[in-house]
A and B are shown apart, each in its own frame.
Chain A
Amino acid sequence: MRDNIENMASENDADSKKVATPVRQYDVVVKILENYQYNHEKLIPILHAVQEEYRYLPEAVMMYVANALGISPARVYGVATFYAHFALQPKGKYVVRVCDGTACHVKGSMNMFETIKKVLSLSDKKTTTDDLLFTVETVSCLGACGLAPVMMVNGDVYGQLTENKVKDIIENIRKHEAGVKK
């Protein structure tokens, strides 16, 4: 995704509007903004792209986006807090989203959620592990009700979960990560 944004942005660089001295650390944000022509009506896609980059919406970046689009920081903050997709806290590398749609709920999704929290030593208040590897959250419906209960780890969907299956999935990711580090 990062490459995509940069590629697309660099094609537009030549004819894009000049921005008043972009701060270097916001290079990526500037490219995103250029991509959407500094159009405040595209605030939601812009925030999507920013979150893709940072894995959450840092306050300073939201301020920067507001100034660059010529809208109030309150509006950016308002939109960021209104939609469930946007996060104001850093998220882990693997975002585990346990579906708590109705079909999953009646098939015991909350047991899966509790199991994962137990395995990762997380609670309702603490949703991200200290090593920033996992974030666990519920989502209102993934639309895979035929396979209930379901969860999604980043882009991958896992269906017909059992408590053991859930433990294995987490364990495999940990093993994979440990392997990558070595």
Chain B
Amino acid sequence: MSFNRYILIYRESDAGVDKNENLFDAFMKELGEKDPSNSVQVVDAVMNGKADPDSTLVKIIPDNIYFKCKDPVDAIKIVDDFIIKNNPVKKLEAAANNIQYRIVLRNCGVIDPENINEYIAREGYSALEKVLFDMTPDEVIAEIKKSGLRGRGGAGFPTGNKWAFTQQAVGDVKYVVCNADEGDPGAYMDRSTLEGDPNSIIEAMAIAGYAVGASKGYIYIRAEYPLAIKRLEIAISQATEMGLMGKNIMGSDFSFEIEIRYGAGAFVCGEETALLASLQGERGMPKPRPPFPAVKGLWGKPTVINNVETLANIPVIIIKGSDWFNRIGTEKSKGTKVFAVTGKVKNSGLVEVPMGTTLRDIIFTVSGGIGNNRKFKAVQTGGPSGGVIPEKFLDTPIDYENLVALGSMMGSGGMIVMDEDDCMVDVNKFYLQFSVDESCGKCAPCRLGGRQLLTYLQDIAKGNGDLKDIDKMKRIGNAMQKASLCGLGQTTSNPIQSALKYFYDEYEEHIVHKKCRAGKCLELLTYTINPEKCSRCGICKRVCPASAISGDRESGFAIDNAVCIKCGECYNRCKFDAIDRG
């Protein structure tokens, strides 16, 4: 298992297999001839995002150089010149985004996730070995505390403290739970980590088990992630077979086993106490805290619950030490954070950067900025629990505290970029609808407040709003923040509160002028034909699915707004810009 170099051939999820087949064969054939010692491995890697349709991205590790390959001839050139002769091949080189720093995603796309040997070859399970034989549970917890690692699920609670509370809690049986119920729409770092590097999560859970004194772990994962489930199952069975999991791990006194449990589609189960209820076969309803799960969790026993991304950091911290980890990031937020940058950026995908990187660097440098010649408007971080951040704050270094100060939050790391075509009222309505659907209904502030907020938003989007509604919305939002039982209700109003802070004028426009500048709120739209620009070609009349356009080539055309369904078909099809939308 000793390769000097790896050639990663990237494809876009399962779709691009055929496209790369020739290239893959070309590399294999050329290496077979020129590299008899078999020191280079070719890897079929999956890209976290969108690929260039005309070429295939190829990465060489450890050189960290990217190439763009179009046909098999390029493969031969890379092997001959770069791999064998060590000459640069500038012509094929692709730009790399060097501000990324991979800790959590260190193995994703690099190793075969269904082969435990490849994980082991990259220092896998050596952290577990180190804690089992060279460290006491107290030392492990002290190391994690010192590293400054904070929970990546959203709230940012120090992981070391969580472990310490569970360790100190009295109980004969304790549990470790991995929260893989990634429900935040627009975030998929946990799915990618589990699919790309399942063993790192299993190893980290065993380390957590050793530290807090637990011998049983549960992974609570969404049923919508079948591939992640399959790969976790493979990883667990391979690890058990090799004695890295199960009874007397590596011959020590420590035993640990892991069971996978499926979620069934409930966002609120990301909340610790609701997740535990779901694991016990009940409705996923949160309970008041305290008692905290660290003291009284699963079946009343002390339980430590960590998110996938948090756990993925653990083995690295153990191997490289807390001092190393401590140097990455900002004063209060250590390490890196994975963001799922999606929406209107040119290159959507996962981005892992050190804490303290600015939003501008992530959106414009790594993700390539906004496509289609549109202008950046805002970015939503923290999903339905977060808020929008406008352009003037793009240079803020990202950490837990700064995002909260801007009225948003870190959340699980979803980053939805919006341009001028997105309407704040519409986006708020979308998030509110989501939060209302997902509210479990247990506590009144969330159940009633959310619905009331949604009613106001629906009215505003239809042009039936009143400026007084804004004050009412703020008051309801504040009440929900203070009185809701769990994080879901406490944060439901966050998107609205932040939009009112930064995009008040847009709300005002909807309410007072009955206009939606982005053209998203259909009820406020009217389409009219500008007779000066109209060439009377008649295409609008032909494409109108509602027959709302009358007239002929002699007298010109007109739109009857009582019949119009605002589909925008005429607006899109008119070649002369003769249809006004307002």
What is the interface of chain A, defined by CB distance below 8 A to chain B?
A: 40-45, 47-48, 75, 78-79, 82-86, 100-103, 105-107, 139-148, 155, 157, 159-160
- Contacting pair B15 A159 (CB below 8 A): yes
What are 28 contact pairs spanning A and B, CB under 8 A?
A40-B281, A41-B281, A44-B261, A44-B281, A48-B264, A78-B283, A82-B266, A84-B264, A84-B265, A100-B185, A102-B186, A102-B416, A103-B340, A103-B343, A105-B185, A106-B343, A107-B344, A139-B265, A140-B183, A140-B267, A143-B188, A144-B13, A145-B187, A146-B50, A146-B348, A146-B350, A159-B13, A160-B50
Given A44-B281, A105-B430, A143-B188, A83-B224 contact (CB < 8 Å): no
Q: Mark B318-358, 1 if CB is under 8 A from A, else 0.
A: 00000000000000000000001011100011100000000
A45-B262, A159-B15 given; 18 more Cβ-contact pairs under 8 Å: A42-B281, A43-B282, A44-B262, A44-B281, A48-B223, A78-B283, A82-B440, A83-B263, A84-B266, A102-B383, A102-B427, A103-B186, A103-B340, A144-B13, A145-B186, A146-B350, A147-B12, A157-B13
Task: Verify if B243 is at the interface (C-beta below 8 Å from A).
Answer: no
How long is the Cα–Cα vector from A141 to B263 in the complex, in angstroms? Answer: 14
Total CB contacts across the A-B interface at under 8 A: 123
Q: Considering the complex, which residues of chain B in the window 376-435 have a beta carbon less than 8 Å from any beta carbon of chain A?
A: 380, 383, 414, 416, 418, 422, 427, 430-431, 434
Contact of A140 among B12, B188, B434 (CB under 8 A): B434
How long is the Cα–Cα vector from A78 to B285 in the complex, in angstroms? Answer: 11
With CB as the reference atom, state the residue of chain B lying closest to A156.
B14
Q: Distance in Å from the Cβ of B441 to the closest Cβ of chain A? A: 9
Most buried by B among A43, A47, A100, A101: A101
How long is the Cα–Cα vector from A121 to B83 in the complex, in angstroms? Answer: 57
With CB as the reference atom, state the residue of chain B lying closest to A140.
B185
Given A102-B430, A140-B185, A141-B185, A82-B343 contact (CB < 8 Å): no
Contact of B184 among A41, A45, A105, A141 (CB under 8 A): A141
How long is the Cα–Cα vector from A83 to B380 in the complex, in angstroms? Answer: 27
Task: Verify if B284 is at the interface (C-beta below 8 Å from A).
Answer: yes
How long is the Cα–Cα vector from A143 to B187 in the complex, in angstroms? Answer: 6
Contact of A145 among B12, B278, B340, B440 (CB under 8 A): B340
Given A102-B383, A102-B430, A140-B434, A83-B186 contact (CB < 8 Å): no
Main DSSP-derived SS at the B contact region: loop
How long is the Cα–Cα vector from A42 to B186 in the complex, in angstroms? Answer: 30
With CB as the reference atom, state the residue of chain B lying closest to A155.
B226
Q: Considering the complex, which residues of chain B in the window 260-319 have a beta carbon less than 8 Å from any beta carbon of chain A?
A: 261-267, 278, 280-284
- Contacting pair A141 B183 (CB below 8 A): yes
Task: Verify if B162 is at the interface (C-beta below 8 Å from A).
Answer: no
What are the residues of chain A within 8 A of B224 when measuring CB–CB? Answer: 85, 139, 142-143
The 8 A-B pairs with the shortest beta carbon distances in the complex, nearest first, are A84-B265, A83-B264, A101-B185, A103-B342, A143-B188, A141-B185, A102-B186, A43-B281
Task: Verify if B527 is at the interface (C-beta below 8 Å from A).
Answer: no
Most buried by A among B224, B261, B266, B267: B224
What are the residues of chain A within 8 A of B281 when measuring CB–CB? Answer: 40-44, 79
- Contacting pair B265 A102 (CB below 8 A): no
Task: Verify if B225 is at the interface (C-beta below 8 Å from A).
Answer: yes
Q: Considering the complex, which residues of chain B in the window 162-191 have a beta carbon less than 8 Å from any beta carbon of chain A?
A: 182-188, 191
How long is the Cα–Cα vector from A140 to B437 in the complex, in angstroms? Answer: 10
How long is the Cα–Cα vector from A143 to B15 in the complex, in angstroms? Answer: 16
How long is the Cα–Cα vector from A143 to B182 in the complex, in angstroms? Answer: 8
How long is the Cα–Cα vector from A58 to B294 in the complex, in angstroms? Answer: 38
Task: Verify if B484 is at the interface (C-beta below 8 Å from A).
Answer: no
What are the residues of chain B within 8 A of A84 when measuring CB–CB? Answer: 264-266
What are the residues of chain B within 8 A of A44 when measuring CB–CB? Answer: 261-262, 264, 278, 281
Task: Verify if B48 is at the interface (C-beta below 8 Å from A).
Answer: yes
- Contacting pair A83 B266 (CB below 8 A): yes
With CB as the reference atom, state the residue of chain A lying closest to B282.
A79
What are the residues of chain B within 8 A of A139 when measuring CB–CB? Answer: 224, 265
- Contacting pair B262 A106 (CB below 8 A): no
Contact of A147 among B13, B383, B434 (CB under 8 A): B13
With CB as the reference atom, state the residue of chain A lying closest to B419.
A106
- Contacting pair A106 B264 (CB below 8 A): no
Task: Verify if B49 is at the interface (C-beta below 8 Å from A).
Answer: yes
How long is the Cα–Cα vector from A45 to B437 in the complex, in angstroms? Answer: 23
What are the residues of chain B within 8 A of A146 when measuring CB–CB? Answer: 48-50, 188, 340, 342, 348-350
What are the residues of chain A within 8 A of B350 when measuring CB–CB? Answer: 146
- Contacting pair A85 B223 (CB below 8 A): yes
What are the residues of chain A within 8 A of B262 when measuring CB–CB? Answer: 44-45, 48
